[in-house]
Amino acid sequence: MKRLGLLLVLVAACKGPEREARMGPPPAANPVTVVPLPPPVGEEVAVDYRTQTDGQALIEVAAPPGARVDIREGQALVGRDTAPMAVKAEADHWYMIGARLPSGAVREAKVQARAGQVASLRFVDVPQGPQAMSREAFKGFLQALDEEPGDQAKLNLLRSAAAKQWFTSAMAGVIIDHIVYRENKLAAVPILKDRILDRENAFWLYQHFTYREDKAKVQEILEH
Protein backbone atom coordinates (compact mmCIF):
# COMPACT_ATOMS: atom_id res chain seq x y z
CA MET A 1 0.00 0.00 0.00
CA LYS A 2 2.85 2.39 0.83
CA ARG A 3 4.40 1.71 -2.57
CA LEU A 4 1.08 2.39 -4.33
CA GLY A 5 0.61 5.71 -2.53
CA LEU A 6 4.17 6.79 -3.35
CA LEU A 7 3.62 5.91 -7.01
CA LEU A 8 0.49 8.07 -7.20
CA VAL A 9 2.34 11.04 -5.67
CA LEU A 10 5.14 10.76 -8.24
CA VAL A 11 2.67 10.59 -11.16
CA ALA A 12 0.84 13.71 -9.93
CA ALA A 13 4.12 15.61 -9.58
CA CYS A 14 5.21 14.75 -13.13
CA LYS A 15 1.91 15.75 -14.69
CA GLY A 16 2.37 19.49 -14.04
CA PRO A 17 -0.27 22.26 -14.29
CA GLU A 18 -2.95 21.93 -16.94
CA ARG A 19 -2.82 24.41 -19.81
CA GLU A 20 -5.71 26.77 -20.09
CA ALA A 21 -7.75 26.36 -23.24
CA ARG A 22 -7.27 29.32 -25.53
CA MET A 23 -10.24 30.81 -27.34
CA GLY A 24 -9.33 31.40 -30.96
CA PRO A 25 -10.70 34.36 -32.93
CA PRO A 26 -14.28 33.85 -34.20
CA PRO A 27 -14.52 32.74 -37.82
CA ALA A 28 -14.90 35.61 -40.23
CA ALA A 29 -18.47 36.13 -41.37
CA ASN A 30 -19.12 35.57 -45.03
CA PRO A 31 -19.68 38.89 -46.83
CA VAL A 32 -23.31 39.54 -47.71
CA THR A 33 -23.89 40.16 -51.39
CA VAL A 34 -26.69 42.64 -52.05
CA VAL A 35 -28.57 41.67 -55.17
CA PRO A 36 -30.47 44.60 -56.70
CA LEU A 37 -34.15 44.00 -57.17
CA PRO A 38 -35.34 43.75 -60.76
CA PRO A 39 -37.53 46.56 -62.08
CA PRO A 40 -41.13 46.07 -60.96
CA VAL A 41 -43.26 44.65 -63.74
CA GLY A 42 -46.94 43.93 -63.41
CA GLU A 43 -50.03 43.48 -65.45
CA GLU A 44 -50.94 47.17 -65.22
CA VAL A 45 -47.57 48.96 -65.14
CA ALA A 46 -43.96 48.32 -66.13
CA VAL A 47 -41.01 50.30 -64.76
CA ASP A 48 -37.48 50.27 -66.10
CA TYR A 49 -34.41 52.38 -65.37
CA ARG A 50 -31.95 53.79 -67.87
CA THR A 51 -28.95 56.09 -67.62
CA GLN A 52 -29.60 59.84 -67.70
CA THR A 53 -26.86 61.53 -69.73
CA ASP A 54 -26.71 64.66 -67.52
CA GLY A 55 -26.56 62.67 -64.29
CA GLN A 56 -30.02 63.79 -63.13
CA ALA A 57 -32.72 61.75 -61.44
CA LEU A 58 -35.89 61.82 -63.56
CA ILE A 59 -39.31 60.18 -63.46
CA GLU A 60 -40.91 59.61 -66.85
CA VAL A 61 -44.35 58.39 -67.84
CA ALA A 62 -43.90 57.20 -71.41
CA ALA A 63 -47.20 55.49 -72.16
CA PRO A 64 -49.97 55.46 -73.01
CA PRO A 65 -49.95 58.76 -74.92
CA GLY A 66 -52.69 61.10 -73.77
CA ALA A 67 -52.85 59.81 -70.19
CA ARG A 68 -53.36 62.57 -67.60
CA VAL A 69 -50.57 62.18 -65.05
CA ASP A 70 -50.04 63.47 -61.51
CA ILE A 71 -46.71 62.88 -59.76
CA ARG A 72 -46.59 63.47 -56.00
CA GLU A 73 -44.05 63.21 -53.22
CA GLY A 74 -46.18 62.76 -50.15
CA GLN A 75 -48.85 65.45 -50.42
CA ALA A 76 -46.75 67.74 -52.62
CA LEU A 77 -47.61 67.85 -56.32
CA VAL A 78 -44.36 67.55 -58.27
CA GLY A 79 -45.74 67.44 -61.80
CA ARG A 80 -49.00 67.33 -63.76
CA ASP A 81 -49.07 66.84 -67.50
CA THR A 82 -50.12 64.60 -70.35
CA ALA A 83 -48.04 61.53 -71.21
CA PRO A 84 -45.40 61.29 -72.49
CA MET A 85 -43.92 63.53 -69.80
CA ALA A 86 -41.02 63.68 -67.33
CA VAL A 87 -40.10 65.59 -64.16
CA LYS A 88 -36.93 66.09 -62.15
CA ALA A 89 -36.79 64.13 -58.91
CA GLU A 90 -34.64 63.75 -55.80
CA ALA A 91 -32.46 60.65 -55.78
CA ASP A 92 -33.58 57.90 -53.36
CA HIS A 93 -36.96 59.59 -52.79
CA TRP A 94 -40.20 57.72 -53.41
CA TYR A 95 -42.95 59.14 -55.61
CA MET A 96 -46.58 58.22 -56.24
CA ILE A 97 -47.69 58.38 -59.86
CA GLY A 98 -51.38 58.52 -60.65
CA ALA A 99 -52.66 58.34 -64.22
CA ARG A 100 -56.05 58.55 -65.88
CA LEU A 101 -55.67 56.60 -69.10
CA PRO A 102 -57.38 57.42 -72.41
CA SER A 103 -59.79 54.54 -71.80
CA GLY A 104 -60.90 56.19 -68.55
CA ALA A 105 -59.15 53.64 -66.34
CA VAL A 106 -57.19 54.94 -63.34
CA ARG A 107 -53.77 53.53 -62.43
CA GLU A 108 -51.29 54.19 -59.61
CA ALA A 109 -47.68 53.18 -59.05
CA LYS A 110 -45.00 53.98 -56.47
CA VAL A 111 -41.42 54.30 -57.73
CA GLN A 112 -38.06 55.32 -56.32
CA ALA A 113 -35.92 57.91 -58.09
CA ARG A 114 -32.28 56.93 -58.61
CA ALA A 115 -29.28 59.22 -59.06
CA GLY A 116 -28.25 59.56 -62.69
CA GLN A 117 -31.13 57.45 -63.97
CA VAL A 118 -34.55 57.83 -65.57
CA ALA A 119 -37.35 55.80 -63.99
CA SER A 120 -39.60 55.17 -66.99
CA LEU A 121 -43.18 53.96 -66.43
CA ARG A 122 -45.52 52.46 -68.97
CA PHE A 123 -49.11 51.93 -67.91
CA VAL A 124 -51.04 49.23 -69.72
CA ASP A 125 -54.34 50.47 -71.09
CA VAL A 126 -56.71 47.75 -72.19
CA PRO A 127 -58.95 49.11 -74.95
CA GLN A 128 -62.50 49.48 -73.67
CA GLY A 129 -64.27 51.20 -76.52
CA PRO A 130 -63.18 54.18 -78.63
CA GLN A 131 -59.49 55.09 -78.58
CA ALA A 132 -57.94 58.50 -79.07
CA MET A 133 -55.87 59.15 -82.16
CA SER A 134 -52.35 57.80 -81.75
CA ARG A 135 -49.47 60.19 -81.16
CA GLU A 136 -48.03 59.69 -84.63
CA ALA A 137 -51.41 60.02 -86.33
CA PHE A 138 -52.15 63.19 -84.38
CA LYS A 139 -48.77 64.66 -85.32
CA GLY A 140 -49.56 63.99 -88.98
CA PHE A 141 -53.02 65.52 -88.60
CA LEU A 142 -51.58 68.74 -87.14
CA GLN A 143 -49.13 68.97 -90.01
CA ALA A 144 -51.98 68.61 -92.51
CA LEU A 145 -53.98 71.20 -90.58
CA ASP A 146 -51.14 73.71 -90.78
CA GLU A 147 -50.85 73.19 -94.53
CA GLU A 148 -54.45 74.29 -95.13
CA PRO A 149 -54.63 77.85 -96.55
CA GLY A 150 -57.10 79.33 -94.05
CA ASP A 151 -59.30 78.72 -91.03
CA GLN A 152 -62.32 77.56 -93.05
CA ALA A 153 -60.22 74.93 -94.77
CA LYS A 154 -58.84 73.90 -91.37
CA LEU A 155 -62.38 73.54 -89.98
CA ASN A 156 -63.43 71.43 -92.98
CA LEU A 157 -60.45 69.13 -92.41
CA LEU A 158 -61.33 68.94 -88.72
CA ARG A 159 -64.92 67.93 -89.55
CA SER A 160 -63.64 65.14 -91.78
CA ALA A 161 -61.27 63.86 -89.10
CA ALA A 162 -63.85 64.13 -86.30
CA ALA A 163 -66.27 61.96 -88.27
CA LYS A 164 -63.97 58.98 -87.68
CA GLN A 165 -61.42 59.90 -85.02
CA TRP A 166 -61.52 60.48 -81.27
CA PHE A 167 -59.47 62.99 -79.30
CA THR A 168 -58.44 63.69 -75.73
CA SER A 169 -59.19 67.10 -74.22
CA ALA A 170 -55.48 67.91 -74.44
CA MET A 171 -55.51 67.12 -78.17
CA ALA A 172 -58.60 69.28 -78.65
CA GLY A 173 -56.79 72.20 -77.03
CA VAL A 174 -53.82 71.80 -79.35
CA ILE A 175 -56.13 71.75 -82.37
CA ILE A 176 -57.77 74.99 -81.24
CA ASP A 177 -54.33 76.59 -80.93
CA HIS A 178 -53.65 75.77 -84.59
CA ILE A 179 -56.68 77.80 -85.69
CA VAL A 180 -55.96 81.50 -86.11
CA TYR A 181 -59.02 83.67 -85.47
CA ARG A 182 -61.05 83.66 -82.26
CA GLU A 183 -64.45 83.17 -83.95
CA ASN A 184 -63.08 80.13 -85.79
CA LYS A 185 -61.56 78.78 -82.60
CA LEU A 186 -65.05 78.93 -81.11
CA ALA A 187 -66.46 77.21 -84.20
CA ALA A 188 -64.10 74.29 -83.59
CA VAL A 189 -65.50 73.56 -80.12
CA PRO A 190 -68.88 72.08 -81.21
CA ILE A 191 -67.06 69.96 -83.81
CA LEU A 192 -64.77 68.56 -81.14
CA LYS A 193 -66.98 68.28 -78.06
CA ASP A 194 -68.71 65.00 -78.93
CA ARG A 195 -65.42 63.42 -80.02
CA ILE A 196 -63.56 64.08 -76.77
CA LEU A 197 -63.11 60.90 -74.76
CA ASP A 198 -62.29 62.45 -71.39
CA ARG A 199 -65.18 64.90 -71.24
CA GLU A 200 -64.54 65.43 -67.52
CA ASN A 201 -61.32 67.22 -68.52
CA ALA A 202 -62.92 69.39 -71.20
CA PHE A 203 -62.59 72.42 -68.91
CA TRP A 204 -58.95 72.50 -70.04
CA LEU A 205 -60.25 74.04 -73.27
CA TYR A 206 -60.97 77.31 -71.43
CA GLN A 207 -57.28 78.11 -71.17
CA HIS A 208 -57.02 78.19 -74.96
CA PHE A 209 -59.25 81.27 -75.11
CA THR A 210 -58.22 84.75 -74.03
CA TYR A 211 -61.46 86.69 -73.63
CA ARG A 212 -63.95 86.13 -70.84
CA GLU A 213 -66.93 86.13 -73.20
CA ASP A 214 -65.25 83.44 -75.30
CA LYS A 215 -64.69 81.30 -72.22
CA ALA A 216 -68.38 81.70 -71.34
CA LYS A 217 -69.39 80.58 -74.85
CA VAL A 218 -67.13 77.54 -74.59
CA GLN A 219 -68.75 76.61 -71.29
CA GLU A 220 -72.21 76.97 -72.83
CA ILE A 221 -71.26 74.80 -75.82
CA LEU A 222 -69.80 72.06 -73.62
CA GLU A 223 -72.83 71.97 -71.33
CA HIS A 224 -75.36 71.55 -74.15
Q: Tell me the CA end-to-end span of the chain in Å, nearest whole number.
A: 128
Strand ranges across the sheet with 106-112: 76-82, 68-73, 94-100, 106-112
Q: Is 105 helix (H, G, I), strand (E, B) or coil?
A: coil
Return the higher-pLDDT residue of 189 and 125: 189
Rounded CA-CA distance 88/113 in Å is: 9
What's the pLDDT band for 202 if we cut at 50, 70, 90? confident
Kindly provide the residue ranges of all beta strands, DSSP E only, lying in 74-177, ordered along the sequence.
76-82, 85-88, 94-100, 106-112, 117-123
- Averaged pLDDT score across all residues of the chain: 83
User: Which residues are registered as beta bridge partners of 49?
Assistant: 119
Identify the DSSP state of 148: S
pLDDT of residue 34: 41
pLDDT for 115:
95
If you average pLDDT over residues 161-173, what whole number do you get?
92
Q: Given CATH 2.60.40, say whether it is the number of domain 45-123.
A: yes
Indicate whether 14 pLDDT > 60: no
pLDDT digits (tens, 9 = 90+) for 120-136: 999 988 766 788 888 88
Alpha-carbon dihedral sign for residues 162, 167, 172, 176? negative
Sign of CA dihedral 67, 68, 74, 77: positive
pLDDT of 194 higher than 70: yes
69-93 pLDDT, tens per residue? 999 999 999 999 999 999 999 999 9
Q: DSSP character for 145?
A: H
